[in-house]
Amino acid sequence: MYCSSTQTRSLFDKSETLLDTGTVPEMLPAWLSEADLDYYVKEFKRTGFRGGLNWYRNMDRNWDLTSFLCGAKILQPSLFVAGEFDGVITMYRQGFDSLEETMPGLRKKVLLSGAGHWIQQERPTEVNDLLIEFLKSL
């Protein structure tokens, strides 16, 4: 089973790089085929990973630009789905636990057991079923 929270660490020593903190799994998770991995590798070799990294590099600026939203609530009918082992849930569990306060329109929140960050790839049938159920309820 692939568990993103055990594959990488969020904190590391100054002498380490991010790549030093990960591990190479013995086998690919069931939701990632060799063909998919080959495609991703080919595309990253072609384009680099600057786009993905720039999102993180720009995080402080994004917070500055959206500071007017501090304290805002999502009032629209909402569904929240994440994986139990999603590192974001692990780091910000209090945010997940208080979603009902920040999202008064929340109809349902679900943590998919055994799933990590990429739930739409790891558990496409369950994610689609939840989305269809939610949309039908509107």
The pLDDT profile of the chain, 138 residues, written as one tens digit per residue, is 233 334 455 667 788 887 777 778 889 988 899 999 999 999 999 999 888 889 888 989 999 999 999 999 999 999 999 999 998 998 899 999 999 999 999 999 999 999 999 999 999 999 999 999 999 999
Asked if 56 and 86 sit in the same domain, the reply is: no
Asked if 68 and 79 sit in the same domain, the reply is: no
Q: What is the pLDDT of residue 4?
A: 39
Q: What is the pLDDT of residue 10?
A: 62
Rounded to 10 degrees, the C-alpha dihedral 81/40/43/5 comes to 60
Structure tokens at 33: 């085929």
In terms of C-beta density within 10 A (0-12 exposed, 13-18 middle, 19 or more buried), how is residue 123 classed? buried
Within 10 A of 37 (CB to CB), how many other CB atoms are there?
Answer: 11
The count of structural domains within the chain is 2
Tell me whether residue 11 is in a domain. no
State the DSSP H helix or E strand holding residue 62, giving kind and residue range, or none if neither. helix 59-65
Tell me the C-alpha distance between 56 and 110, whole Å: 26
* Domain stops at, among 72, 98, 130: 72
Q: What is the pLDDT of residue 18?
A: 72
* Domain stops at, among 21, 53, 72: 72
Tell me whether residue 94 is in a domain. yes
pTM for this prediction: 0.76
Range(s) of the domain holding residue 79: 75-138
Asked if 83 and 57 sit in the same domain, the reply is: no
Tell me whether residue 82 is in a domain. yes
Tell me whether residue 93 is in a domain. yes
Structure tokens at 101: 């306060």
Asked if 103 and 49 sit in the same domain, the reply is: no
Structure tokens at 12: 């590391």
Asked if 67 and 79 sit in the same domain, the reply is: no
* Domain stops at, among 50, 72, 94: 72
Q: What is the pLDDT of residue 2?
A: 33
